[in-house]
Amino acid sequence: MAEKISLDKSDRLAVCWRSTFLQGSWNYERMQNGGYVYAMIPAIKKLYKTKEDQVAALQRHLEFFNTHPYVASPIIGVNLALEEERANGAQVDDEAIQGVKVGMMGPLAGVGDPVFWFTVRPLLGALGASLALGGSILGPILFWVVWNLVRWGFMWYTQEFGYQAGTAITKDLSGGLLQKITKGASILGMFVLGALIERWVSINFAPVVSEITNAEGSYIDWDALNEMAQSGNFGQAMHDAIAQANSGMYMDATRVTTLQDNLNGLVPGLVPLLLTFLCMWLLKKKVSPIAIILGLFVVGIVGHLIGLL
Amino acid sequence: MNGLSIILVIIIAFFAGMEGILDEFQFHQPIVACTLIGLVTGNLEAGIILGGTLQLMAMGWANIGAAVAPDAALASVASAIILVKGGQGVAGVPTAIAVAIPLAVAGLFLTMIVRTLAVGIVHAMDGAAKNAEFGKVEMLQIGAICMQGLRIAIPAAAMCFVPAEAVSSALNAMPAWLTDGMSIGGGMVVAVGYAMVINMMANKEVWPFLFIGFAVAAISDLTLIALGILGVSMAFIYLNLAEQGGSGGASGGGSGDPLGDILNDY
C-alpha cells in the first residue's frame, strides 16, 4: 500500500461518541458485542475498502465483550491503533486483537466499577441528594453536570491515550498508576460510606426507658410565666421563657428517655452501623438484595405496629 | 396532567429506560428522572425531594458484570408519576417511595426479558455482518436501545392514563400504620445499598477509613463537602506514606507533591 491510511481526530471522535451506546444491545450471549461493533463502524469504514476485509472486521468485533462501559474507551483506543496498523499491512492477526480486548476488559472493569459506580456516583449522588432534600434544584443540576463532564472527559482522554499508547497500554496496567487510583478511591469511598451510614440510615427505637421527675426549679415553671402573660406582661414572659430555656432548664416536669436516647449516648449511629454489617453478611450469604429490602419494609411495618420503632 | 405533560413524561420515561442500560448520561438516576417529571408536570419541588430521597436509597444499585441491579429507572419514573397523580405534593413523597421499591423489582424482570430478546438482535447483526451491511448493523443497535426505552415508556404511559381519582383514592385508602411503617422501613433500606458498596470495596487496608468516617460524621457541623475534603486528603496521605514505606522510607517522596507526581506520571 503506497499511502498510509490513518484515523483522524474526527473519526476518533465519532467512535468515542458511538461508544456511549456500548451497552445498548447488552445480551446474555455475548454481552456488549453489538455496541462494540457499532462503535467501531466509522473506523472500519475508513480503514477497509474491500468487502472481505469489512466483513472480517465486523465479525471480529462481534465477539464476546464485557467491561465497565467507560473503561471500554482505552480498550477501543488501543484497538483503533491495532486496526490502523493492520489496514496498513502490518501483521496483526485476529488473535492479537481479540487478545487485547479480553486481556484488558477484566482488569479495567476492576478499576471502573469501584471508581465510578461505588465512589464517584455515590459521592455526587449524596451531595446532590442532600441539596435536593431541601427542595433545591441545584442538587439535580450539580449531579448531572459534574457527572457528565467527568464521564465524557474520561472517555475521550482515555481513548486518545489508548490510541497513542497502542499496545504499550497493557504494560502500563500492571504498573502503579491505576492501582493507586483504585486504592485512593476505595479509601475515599470507605470514609464517606462510614459518614453516610451515620447520617442517612435512620432507625429510631421508640420505647420509653425511663420517666424521671425533675427537681423543683430545674424546669421551666410555665404556670408562673402564664400568670405573668395574663397580667399583660407578655413580652417579659416570653423573654424569661427563652432565657430559662437557654440556660439549660428542662422543658417539662418529667423527662422522658427513650431507648434511642440511651443508644445515642453510647455512640450515635451505632444501630445503623450494625444494620449495615448485617446486610453485608446477608449479601455474602447470597441473599438477594431485593429480599433484604422487602424484609426491611416488613420489619419497619411490624416494628411500628408493636411500638418498637 | 394535560396532554402535553403526558407526552413529555413518556419521553422522559423513554430516556430513563435507555439510560437504565447505557448508564452514561444518568437520566435513569432518581435525582434526575424525578426532577424532570416534576418539572414537566408542575410539581418541581416535590419531584426534587422525591428524587433526592430515592437517590440515597439507590446508592449501591449498579450493574456489575452480568448482574442486574434493582431497576432505578422504573422505580424513579413510576414513583414520580404516582406522586404527581396523588396530588399531595411534598406530603406524598413517603408513599411514592414505598411504591417505588416493588417497582424496582418489577423493572428487574423487564430488564432480564429485554436482555434475553437482545440475543436475537445480535444474531441478526451476525447475519448483516456477513454481507458487510453497515446500515443494518447500526439500525439493529438503535433498535435494541429503543427496546430498552420502551421498557419504561410503556408502563409509564399506562400509568398516565389510569384516572387520577383512582390513584389518589388508593393512596388515601392506605392506613397510617402502613405508610408510617413503610417510611420507617425506607430509612433502613438505605443500608442495603451501602452494604453492597462496602462488600465490593472492603479489604484489610481500607476498613479503618470506614470507622473514621463513621466517627467523624457525628460532628453535625461538617458538611458533606468538608467530609469529602477530609477523605481525599487522607487518601493522598495514605498513598504517599505507602509509597515511601515501599521504597525503604527516607527519601522516597519524590518532589513532595503527591498530586503533582500523580499528574506528572499520567
CB B75, CB B51: distance < 8 Å: no
pTM score, two decimals?
0.75
Q: Say if the Cβ atoms of B228 and A113 lie within 8 Å.
A: no
CB A123, CB B228: distance < 8 Å: yes
Phi and psi torsions of B175, nearest 5°: -70, 160
> Is A117 exposed, middle or buried, given 0-12, 13-18 or 19+ CB atoms closer than 10 A?
buried
Looking at residue B232, its pLDDT comes to: 87
Write out pLDDT tens, residues B225-237.
788 889 889 989 9
Between A12 and B172, whose confidence is greater? A12
Pick from B48, B50, B247 the residue to mutate for testing the A interface (most A CBs within 10 Å).
B48
Whether pLDDT at B138 is above 60: yes
ipTM: 0.77
Residue B172 C-alpha cell reads as 388515601
Write out pLDDT tens, residues A133-154.
889 999 999 999 999 999 999 9
In chain B, which residue's Cα lies nearest the Cα of A17? B24
Looking at residue A167, its pLDDT comes to: 55
Name the pLDDT band for B44 (thresholds 50, 70, 90).
very high
% chain B with pLDDT above 70: 89
Chain A closest-CA separation from residue B84 CA (Å): 16
Alpha-carbon distances of A182 from A112, A120, A173, rounded to whole Å: 9, 12, 12
Which residue ranges of chain A lie beneath pLDDT 50?
1, 170
Chain B touched by A154 (CB under 8 Å):
no
For all residues of chain B together, what is the average pLDDT? Answer: 83
Between B84 and A256, whose confidence is greater? B84
Give the residue among B99, B100, B35, B93 at the shortest CA–CA distance from B61: B100
Q: How many CB atoms lie within 10 A of CB A132?
A: 32
Looking at residue A130, its pLDDT comes to: 87
Whether pLDDT at B193 is above 80: no
Interface of B with A in 33-52 (CB under 8 A): 35, 44-45, 48-49, 51-52
Chain A closest-CA separation from residue B250 CA (Å): 20
Q: How many CB atoms lie within 10 A of CB A270?
A: 14
User: Per mean pLDDT, which range of A203-207, A263-267, B206-210, B214-218 is the poorest?
Assistant: A263-267
Radius of gyration of chain B (CA): 23
What number is the average pLDDT over the span B9-13? 95
The DSSP-derived string for A132-143 is HTTT-THHHHHH
CB B174, CB B86: distance < 8 Å: no
Largest separation between any pair of C-alpha atoms in chain A: 106
Chain A closest-CA separation from residue B171 CA (Å): 17
Looking at residue B171, its pLDDT comes to: 67
Q: Say if the Cβ atoms of A137 and B44 lie within 8 Å.
A: yes
Whether pLDDT at B255 is above 60: no
Looking at residue B157, its pLDDT comes to: 92
Chain B touched by A99 (CB under 8 Å):
no
CB A65, CB A79: distance < 8 Å: no
Looking at residue B251, its pLDDT comes to: 40
In chain A, which residue's Cα lies nearest the Cα of B199? A280
Chain A touched by B194 (CB under 8 Å):
yes
In chain A, which residue's Cα lies nearest the Cα of B69? A289
For residue A192, give every residue at least 6 positions away whose Cβ sits within 8 Å of its Cβ, in sequence order, or none: A119, A122, A123, A126, B213, B224, B227, B228, B231
In chain B, which residue's Cα lies nearest the Cα of A289? B192
Interface of A with B in 232-271 (CB under 8 A): 267-269
Q: Say if the Cβ atoms of B262 and A147 lie within 8 Å.
A: no
Chain A closest-CA separation from residue B160 CA (Å): 24
Looking at residue B256, its pLDDT comes to: 47
User: Per mean pLDDT, which range of A295-299, B47-51, B226-230, B260-264 is the poorest?
Assistant: B260-264
d(CA A36, CA A33): 5
Whether pLDDT at B190 is above 90: no
Q: Say if the Cβ atoms of A37 and B125 lie within 8 Å.
A: yes
What number is the average pLDDT over the span B86-112? 81
From chain B, the residues in CB contact with A113 under 8 A are 62, 64, 200
Give the residue among B57, B34, B44, B25 at the shortest CA–CA distance from B192: B57
Q: Say if the Cβ atoms of A290 and B105 lie within 8 Å.
A: yes
From chain B, the residues in CB contact with A290 under 8 A are 70, 104-105, 108
Looking at residue B92, its pLDDT comes to: 84
Chain A closest-CA separation from residue B221 CA (Å): 12
